[in-house]
Amino acid sequence: MKVSRGRNDFNPDDQGSVIAACRRNNASAQRALIRLYYGYVKSISLRYSANDQDAEEIMNDSFLKVFSNLDKYNETLSLKSWIRAIVVNTAIDYFRKNRQRLVTEVYDELGMPELKDLNEDVISSISADEILELVRKLSPVYRMVFSMYVIDGYPHKEIAEKLGIKEGTSKSNLQDARRKLQALIFKMYPKVYDAYELKPLPQNED
């Protein structure tokens, strides 16, 4: 990626001006765009990766793709959504490229309870940061399917196409991922389950 060392001929408070300068390979404008979307890109990269090193690679590749493809960006559309699509696709590419290595880095599930019943209320009862922490402990395929479907809203058909799996496999992986998350909550946040166990059962009305 070429960068310009010229003067800051852009308005850092005007997104259109920043984008135009980035298209001219202005290094200062590129840094401004990175600062603006760094946290957003990082949050997506983190939930698609098991560790900070993988997330960092996804982030770097994503920003390179953003700058390389800015000429294709339609400014009538949301830049944030456009960047999100690039980051997610970069994470998918990273997963497919490193699939063989990633499958050996699965969270140690020894000692985790096998929960047959899925209770969505239990999963939704913990914070977004806590869910992110647990999602990163899922196996790579479960993490990809859960993030793509639940968080980024991809349909199972598109998930299957992007990951190279069957649509039915995507659906079953999602259910398995939710059960694994519930088991992780049971192990790491037992008080959540205690609260549900203490709830009184509904009484039958005569």
What is the DSSP code (8-state) at residue 139?
Answer: -
Q: What are phi and psi of 106, to 5 degrees?
A: -80, 145
Q: pLDDT by residue for the chain (206 residues), tens digit each?
A: 444 444 568 888 888 999 999 999 999 999 999 999 999 999 999 999 988 999 999 999 999 999 999 999 998 889 999 999 999 999 999 988 887 665 545 444 545 555 545 455 666 666 777 888 888 888 888 999 999 999 899 999 999 999 989 999 999 999 988 888 888 887 777 766 565 554 444 444 44
Q: Give bridge partners of residue 4 from the DSSP assignment.
A: 26
Please provide the DSSP assignment of 180-192 as one string. Answer: HHHHHHHHH-HHH
Q: Please, are residues 27 and 5 in contact by the beta-carbon 8 Å criterion?
A: yes
pLDDT of residue 98: 80
pLDDT of residue 182: 82
Listed by start position, the domains of the chain span 12-105, 107-198
Look at residue 79 and give its three-state secondary structure: helix
pLDDT of residue 169: 94
- Specify the amino acid at residue 185: I
Tell me how far apart the alpha carbons of residues 67 and 165 are, in angstroms, rounded to a whole number.
31
Name the class of domain 107-198: mainly alpha
CA atoms within 13 A on the CB side of 155: 2
Tell me how far apart the alpha carbons of residues 194 and 206 are, in angstroms, rounded to a whole number.
30
Give domain 12-105's CATH number out of 2.40.110.10, 1.10.1740.10, 1.20.1630.10, 3.30.70.60: 1.10.1740.10
